Amino acid sequence: MSKHLHQRTHFRSFLLHFRPRAVPERTLRFTLTWGLGGMAMVLVLLLIATGLMLKFVYEPFPDRAYDSILYLNSQVPFGQLLRNIHWWSANALILVAFLHLLRVFYTGAFVAPRQLNWVIGLLLMAAVVLSNYTGYLLPWDQVAFWAITISTSMLDYLPGVGEGIKQWILGGAEAGPQTLVNFYAIHTAILPTLLLFALPFHFWRVRKAQGLVIPKTTNEDPQTKGEMVDSMPHLIMREVSMALLLCAIILLLAMFFNAPLTDQANPGLSPNPTKAPWYFMGIQELLMHFHPVFAILLIPLALLLGLLALPLIRYDAVTSGVWFASARGRRLVLVAMVLAMIFSIGGVLLDEYVLPAQMVGPPGFISTGLLPFGLILALAAGFYLLARKVLGANINEAVQALFTLLITAFVTLTLIGVWFRGTGMQLMWTG
Positions in the binding site for ligand HEM (CB under 6 A): 33, 36-38, 40-41, 44, 97, 100-101, 104, 109-110, 114, 117-118, 121-122, 124-125, 128, 199, 202, 206, 209, 212-213
Please say which residue, 101 or 376, places its beta carbon nearer to ligand HEM: 101
The angle formed by the CA atoms of residues 265, 268 and 269, to the nearest 5 degrees, is: 75
H helices within 16-111, ranges in order? 30-33, 36-54, 65-74, 79-106
Please say which residue, 30 or 256, places its beta carbon nearer to ligand HEM: 30
Please say which residue, 170 or 214, places its beta carbon nearer to ligand HEM: 214
Please say which residue, 41 or 393, places its beta carbon nearer to ligand HEM: 41
Ranked by CB distance to ligand HEM, the top (closest) residue is 121
The helix or strand, by DSSP H or E, that contains position 58, with its residue range, turns out to be: none
Please say which residue, 26 or 289, places its beta carbon nearer to ligand HEM: 26
Please say which residue, 293 or 325, places its beta carbon nearer to ligand HEM: 325
Q: How far is the CB of 282 from ligand HEM (least distance, A)?
A: 17
Please say which residue, 152 or 396, places its beta carbon nearer to ligand HEM: 396
Contacts of residue 396, Cβ cutoff 8 Å, sequence gap at least 6: 108, 315, 316, 317, 319, 325, 329
Please say which residue, 101 or 393, places its beta carbon nearer to ligand HEM: 101
- Measured CA to CA, the distance from residue 373 to residue 359 in angstroms comes to 18
Q: How far is the CB of 193 from ligand HEM (least distance, A)?
A: 14
- Measured CA to CA, the distance from residue 368 to residue 373 in angstroms comes to 8
The angle formed by the CA atoms of residues 137, 138 and 141, to the nearest 5 degrees, is: 70
Q: How far is the CB of 401 from ligand HEM (least distance, A)?
A: 19
Q: How far is the CB of 201 from ligand HEM (least distance, A)?
A: 11
Q: How far is the CB of 416 from ligand HEM (least distance, A)?
A: 24
Q: How far is the CB of 235 from ligand HEM (least distance, A)?
A: 11
H helices within 257-355, ranges in order? 281-287, 292, 299-309, 327-349
- Measured CA to CA, the distance from residue 333 to residue 121 in angstroms comes to 23
Please answer whether residues 243 and 42 qualify as being in contact, where contact means their C-beta atoms are separated by less than 8 angstroms. yes
Please say which residue, 158 or 199, places its beta carbon nearer to ligand HEM: 199
Sign of CA dihedral 351, 354, 356, 357: positive
Q: How far is the CB of 331 from ligand HEM (least distance, A)?
A: 23
SS (H, E, C) 139-178: CCEHHHHHHHHHHHHHHHHCCCCHHHHHHHHHCCCCCCHH
Phi, psi of 23 (to 5 degrees): -130, 155
Contacts of residue 293, Cβ cutoff 8 Å, sequence gap at least 6: 157, 158, 159, 365, 369
